[in-house]
Structure 1
Amino acid sequence: MKQHDKTNISTGLATFLPFLRPYRRQVIGALIALVITAGAMLSLGKGVQFLIDRGLASGSEADLTKALFIFMGLVLLLGVGSFCRFFLVSWLGERVVADIRKAVFAHLLTLSPSFFEDNSPSEIQSRITSDTTLLQSVIGSSLSIALRSSLMLIGGILFLLVMHFKLTLILLICVPFVVIPVLYFGRRVRRLSRNSQDEIANVGRYLSQALRHIKVVQAFTHEKHDEQRFSSAVEQAFSVSVKRILQRSWLALMAILLSMGGIGIMLWFGGKDVISGAISAGDLASFLFYSIVVAGAVTALSEVMGELQRAAGAAERIMELLNETSDIISGKQLIPNPVNPDNSVTNNTVLEFNEVTFSYPTRPTTQVLKNLSFTIQQGETVALVGPSGAGKSTIFELLLRFYDPQQGQLRFADHNIKDYDISAWRHQLALVPQETALFDQTVTDNLGYANRDASEATIQDAAIKSNAHDFIQQLDKTYDTRLGEDGVRLSGGQRQRIAIARAILKDAPILLLDEATSALDAQSEHKVQAALELLMEGRTTLVIAHRLATVLNANRIIVLDQGEIIAQGTHSELLKSCALYKRLADLQFGEQSLKTKLLSDCSRS
């Protein structure tokens, strides 16, 4: 994400006007309440003058009571207006931030995986939580205070000019001395606020990584080192925050000293006029009230300015996320009526890789696949075999359109898969990954991830077929048991059986199996393999084979090495024609024979 050092409050906050538009009535109501409270507050100055000159100075108890009732009426109006203003602006702050969080999250779900390779999910999480919380505070409080203080400042100065021009000039002379420090320190606060938010995000990122991999941390006795690194990150964030706080403190100090100093000078001149009889005591009290209102408004603006500067930085960070575009473009944007894969199979060729060349965005100079070409027939089972780094998993990622190739095409039923609506295309694929991703939800919710319309009976049937039902029944709350983050309550084999049940539930025409039985014991593997064979009937299946024993019955085996196809055929054909395949087979089947012999010797002894 790009860094922008120069931003301003107006452009930073104006970007969120679209989120305010749906709530125009609440915004208008808040503005009306704001104007009423500002008017009531300004009227209190005249109320004080009336109370002194028409009440106390008159010597009449009736006049004093009348003046007091007028004053209390203004106080009541101020209180009711403040209640309405506070409720409406606070409601707007919470509502707008909730909408922003939903919009950002929904947008993030559309971005390609390459975006998350360059941007840490923990740092993104910090933007959605801490940055939006800051925006909520500003929209629901600081912005209202800034608007009210601006009205009070303008209204107070107008009242002062009408009442006493000379004394008002004394106050206005001090205004530049207050505004200049506000602008100077405000720019520094804005820059430091952005840095502070970034450092806080770094703290959150490091914390998330350490806790997510706590077993690795403890297994390598890395606690002290990680504690020191985390402490360094926290101290760095603290150091940047202290610099920001220091600038805001200077800002508040200059505003208070200069504004209140101006009031002191004004009182000296005003006191001389009262003594000489040029103005009354009520006039001076009223003038003093408005002077305090103006000084308070200036001080409030100087303090809120820091919050608004921080909000501008937070708004910039949020807008960076909203302005990100995905590298993967859905077919809806390429052709008026995208082809529907459900009704596209017109011949036996279902999938075709046509001279595909691909490099990952983070490694643009390294070609993972090189002019790769092969076809898969409808209902055929094709296995991908090769050493680590040969490009097997990359083929799956291209099929799922997590990435698009730099050259060549992936075709489905004589159409480039880019022509299809991306959701419609992915509905045609059921994936069983080697490492299953589970969420901190119930078993039913995790299984239903593949098909939200599946009934409870259908979900349980899929679990039975994948040999997952028995261990699920042994959990505390069976299908209502929460699995913890990343499914920490399950073993590797149990997590894999959940993934197989998902594939069964999705019931897609194309299966992508990344060694679906690699983490299972022999008994479970036999049952799951039987379920997979039933599932594979009539479907096109592409299998990544780490263990050759699982693909002996594949219609065709493709041998990959360094992103290129070096051979393809059946198991028996490849043993004769491909040296790499024979070497892999000798290694694996040799180890398997040794294990079988050891088990046999142990059973005899």
Structure 2
Amino acid sequence: MTTPLPNVSTKHVLLWINSHLLCYKGRVIAAIFALFTAAIAWLLLGQGIKYAVDSGFISASSDTLNQATLLVLIITVIACMATYARFYLMTWLGERVSADIRKQVYSHLLALPPSFFAELRTGEVISRFTSDTTVIQTVVGMSLSMTLRSIVTFIGALALMTFSSPLLTFCVVVAVPAVLVPIRVLAPQVRRYAKASQDKVADLGARIDESLHEIMTVQAYTAESAERMHFSNKVEMAMEVAKKRIHYRSLLIGCIMCISMTAIIFIAWVGARQVLDGAMTVGELSAFLFYAVMAGGSVATISEVIGEVQRGVGASERLYELLTTEPDIKSDNSQDIVPKVKPGKAVQIEIEHVNFSYPNSSPLFNDLNIKIQAGERLALVGASGAGKTTLFQLLMRFYDPSAGQILFNGLPINKMPLQGLRQHIAVVTQEPVVFANTVLENIRYGQPQASDEDVIKAAKQAFAHEFIDNLDKRYHTQLGERGVKLSGGQKQRIAIARAILANRPILLLDEATSALDAKSERMVQQAIDRLMVGKTSIVIAHRLATVQHADRILVLDKGKVLASGDHATLMKSDTLYREYAELQLLS
């Protein structure tokens, strides 16, 4: 169980992004310096134009005109070099911050329990990593830079305009509040629909992830048309939200451009009247109009990128929600208690008075008590919903009981660091997990420091070496997504080799042979027998061979232990076990 996704404020998001930027203070300072240098150079260009017009062109002095032209050229070169530096540094910062955010959020997600991913679809999480971080990258690397540059340019242009003509500058200042009105009114709507648009795109990603991963089921049930229709509906829903975002952003840009250009035209008219009256020179008017165009362009740029900035804030909020999601199950590192277990030694497990229920469900376990001796092989038998898999999840602390406790060698597992707890447990599931990596990396997934020789030894013990040796690149063969290049029995043996190499004292085994052919089952069963030596093993049983090899069998029904004993005893004494055995184990 996890805390629901929190509501976050723009302030928190901006502080979060700023904390990442502060890790690269040198580059940030260099980028700001380049930004100011470029802005000042472009502003000085107006003074060069004024000098060229009044001293060179109007006075008909070719030497002065040449000098002014050279000055303007030098200023332009400096401005271009500074622009390159600004663009490079800010783009680098955008890429770097985006990469750091991906790593930070991914690291946090790995600490969240499976219950979190049962509520939030994997496809949506993937969308937040891809599309949302790309938006942040664009905002930090480009939009933020353009906004800062435009603000600096606007302030500088306004100052130089005041120096050239206070009257015309007053006209500009009067026009500025009119420009701010659409920003104030429309920008929140842009941000709102930008976030909603990202959410809809995330829904699309989730649907694609789900349908393509289960493509065989989709095609087997000829559900292609239904999937196309469902996906098309989601695309259209995303488009409807995007249309609203586009509408408000376009309206924002159009309003600002209209107000800005109207103001510039009016100011140009007033300036021309002043030149005719002799109140200012042609060069001063040229410089003033140059600055007015720069100021108007800056406001227009701000209006354009403000939509991207709002979209970036919305995308950042979605990622920050993931980062600030707190799991209900936390590692207790303060006491740092771990059971004292020697390598290869088994662990005693005690389940004492445990109560548990899933959210919004009726209680599953009520005062459950089980004691498993160190080195014991315990088989769990029962119908679906009896609580077998839930017991595994409680042992690994994917969930915590509402009452009671679970102990390893006398120590409560809720007092142990999560990593220390789970390093005592190896798991082999009915549907083994094989990653899109090499055979080597798949086997040593639980023991990353293991040598190649150790991996090969574990593969031989799991009866996997023979088929691995026949692969194209043997242990360096890429197995494809979800081990698509392997058969079911081969994947099981890879998973068992992984557990053998990890060499952990507790083994949780969801019967690994139930879906295999006779030959594969025999080989996998031999591998399992080797794996269980010297370990405390709990097996969810689906086959007779499993229960016959068990030291003890527990019959579970609706979260309660109804009977305990070996196979022969239970066949005689327990009706429920006998019925289950005849239907499942002996079939």
Does the TM-score normalized on the shorter chain lie above 0.5? Answer: yes
**1:575 offset after TM fit, Å?**
1.4
Asked if 1:489 corresponds to 2:485, the answer is yes
Asked if 1:382 corresponds to 2:382, the answer is no
Give the residue type in structure 2 aligned to 1:88.
L
Q: Is the 8 A contact 2:438 2:475 kept in 1?
A: yes
Q: Is the 8 A contact 1:89 1:139 kept in 2?
A: yes
Alignment partner, residue 332 of structure 2: 331
Query: For residues 384-441 of structure 1, what are the alpha-carbon distances to aligned partners after superposition, in whole Å with 9 as ceiling and x for unaligned?
Result: 1111110111111111111111111010111101111211221111111111111111
Asked if 1:440 corresponds to 2:436, the answer is yes
Q: Is the 8 A contact 1:127 1:201 kept in 2?
A: yes
Sort the Cα spacing of 1:382 and 1:448 in 2 relative to 1 into closer, same or farther, 3 A: same
**1:370 offset after TM fit, Å?**
2.2
Alignment partner, residue 285 of structure 2: 284
**1:534 offset after TM fit, Å?**
2.9
Q: Secondary structure at the match of 2:350?
A: strand
Q: Is the 8 A contact 2:437 2:480 kept in 1?
A: yes
Sort the Cα spacing of 1:344 and 1:430 in 2 relative to 1 into closer, same or farther, 3 A: closer
Match of 1:550 among 530, 546, 554: 546
Q: Secondary structure at the match of 2:341?
A: helix
Match of 1:368 among 355, 364, 382: 364
Q: 1:296-315 to 2 correspondence within 5 Å? A: 296-315=297-316
Give the residue type in structure 2 aligned to 1:510.
I
Alignment partner, residue 342 of structure 1: 341
Query: For residues 331-369 of structure 1, what are the alpha-carbon distances to aligned partners after superposition, in whole Å with 9 as ceiling and x for unaligned?
Result: 204x2x4234436999x97100001111223xx332222
**1:284 offset after TM fit, Å?**
0.7
Distance in 2, matches of 1:339 and 1:479, equals: 35
Q: Is the 8 A contact 2:493 2:527 kept in 1?
A: no
Distance in 2, matches of 1:294 and 1:284, equals: 15
Q: Secondary structure at the match of 1:16?
A: helix
Distance in 1, matches of 2:9 and 2:173, equals: 29
Distance in 2, matches of 1:487 and 1:38, equals: 56
Q: Secondary structure at the match of 1:294?
A: helix
Alignment partner, residue 598 of structure 1: none
Distance in 2, matches of 1:586 and 1:124, equals: 44
Give the residue type in structure 1 aligned to 2:338.
V
Query: For residues 479-518 of structure 1, what are the alpha-carbon distances to aligned partners after superposition, in whole Å with 9 as ceiling and x for unaligned?
Result: 2222222122222222111111111111111111111222
Give the residue type in structure 1 aligned to 2:378.
V
Identity of aligned residues (%): 44
Alignment partner, residue 509 of structure 1: 505
Distance in 1, matches of 2:344 and 2:84, equals: 65
Query: When the two structures are superposed, what TM-score results if normalisation uses the length of structure 1?
Result: 0.93
Q: 1:450-599 to 2 correspondence within 5 Å? A: 450-588=446-584, 591=587
Runs of 4 or more, structure 1, over 4 Å off, are 343-346
Aligned residues: 584
**1:519 offset after TM fit, Å?**
3.1
Distance in 2, matches of 1:340 and 1:349, equals: 9
Q: Is the 8 A contact 1:496 1:519 kept in 2?
A: no
Sort the Cα spacing of 1:437 and 1:67 in 2 relative to 1 into closer, same or farther, 3 A: same
Alignment partner, residue 349 of structure 2: 351
Q: Is the 8 A contact 2:147 2:305 kept in 1?
A: yes
Give the residue type in structure 1 aligned to 2:429.
P
Distance in 2, matches of 1:340 and 1:142, equals: 54
Q: Which runs of 5+ in 2 are unaligned?
A: none
Distance in 2, matches of 1:371 and 1:437, equals: 33
Q: Is the 8 A contact 2:509 2:539 kept in 1?
A: yes
Query: For residues 100-124 of structure 1, what are the alpha-carbon distances to aligned partners after superposition, in whole Å with 9 as ceiling and x for unaligned?
Result: 1001111100111111111111101
Q: Is the 8 A contact 1:430 1:510 kept in 2?
A: yes
Alignment partner, residue 597 of structure 1: none
Sort the Cα spacing of 1:484 and 1:229 in 2 relative to 1 into closer, same or farther, 3 A: same
**1:521 offset after TM fit, Å?**
2.9
**1:587 offset after TM fit, Å?**
2.7
Match of 1:427 among 423, 428, 431: 423
Query: When the two structures are superposed, what TM-score results if normalisation uses the length of structure 2?
Result: 0.96
Query: For residues 1-58 of structure 1, what are the alpha-carbon distances to aligned partners after superposition, in whole Å with 9 as ceiling and x for unaligned?
Result: 5474x854x5432221221121001111111111111111111111110111112122
Q: Secondary structure at the match of 1:342?
A: coil
Say what the alpha-carbon RMSD is for the aligned residues: 1.8
Sort the Cα spacing of 1:55 and 1:353 in 2 relative to 1 into closer, same or farther, 3 A: same
Match of 1:403 among 388, 399, 402: 399
**1:466 offset after TM fit, Å?**
1.7
